Amino acid sequence: MALLLLSLALAAAAPAGTAATAAPACPATPAPLPAALAPWTEPASLTAAMNAAGLEAATLPLGAAKDLALSRTPQVRYAVRPERPGGSVSHGGMARFVVVQAGVYRVAMDSAAWIDVVADGKSLESVKHGHGPDCSGIRKMVDFQLAPGAYVLQVVGNGTPGVRVLVTSVPAA
């Protein structure tokens, strides 16, 4: 009880701005997304692969948002062991995508799940991390420098059985 009272007293005495602040309220009509992210608002459903044999059916077209249905982590056999494997109560899965032209590609998601982009049996290094535009629903964006070829997107450790994802090219600056 004394510890609780001490915690309450310290919280009350903290300077303004040090307590967690609520996220800004979003307008009823959010601002339009940049062209590369515009498909985010019109996703189609796709079931993520649980193993390499299911990847062909779980293909992500570039520039199209998908609501991926994920499986319980213990059921997923990833193409490459994830750097941060999810726990037994999390969800994950894989999807395949194909790059035709070399460049920077962005994976946008509505969750904080761990992602790996895999090619030739290894996870690739990202070149940039960020957040989506305010009020867009995009929680995380990760960029990768990719050459033409087929890639596997691994979603790991998601707290829910679904995630929205969009893989799109990043326009040259």
* 64 neighbors 44 (Cβ within 8 angstroms): yes
Provide the residue type at 7 as one letter: S
What is the Cα–Cα distance from 55 to 51, expressed in whole angstroms?
7
- Give the model confidence (pLDDT) of 111-133 as tens digits: 999 999 999 999 999 999 999 88
CA distances from 78 to 63, 99, 172 (A): 24, 21, 32
Give Cβ neighbours of residue 63 (< 8 Å, ≥ 6 apart).
36, 39, 166, 167, 168, 169
* 59 neighbors 95 (Cβ within 8 angstroms): yes
pLDDT of the residue at 171: 84
- Give the model confidence (pLDDT) of 26-46 as tens digits: 888 777 889 999 999 999 999
Give Cβ neighbours of residue 97 (< 8 Å, ≥ 6 apart).
59, 60, 61, 62, 150, 151, 153, 167
Q: In sequence order, what are the beta bridge partners of 152?
A: 96, 118
Classify residue 40 as left (phi > 0), alpha (psi -120 to 50) or beta: alpha
pLDDT of the residue at 21: 55
- Give the model confidence (pLDDT) of 53-102 as tens digits: 999 999 999 999 999 999 999 999 999 999 877 777 799 999 999 999 99
* 126 neighbors 108 (Cβ within 8 angstroms): no
Domains of the chain, with CATH numbers?
34-169 (2.60.120.380)
- Residue 13 — very low, low, confident or very high, per pLDDT cuts 50/70/90? very low
Written as six digits, the tokens of 116 are 């790996």
pLDDT of the residue at 18: 44
Q: What is the pLDDT of the chain when averaged over all its residues? A: 87
The pTM score is 0.83
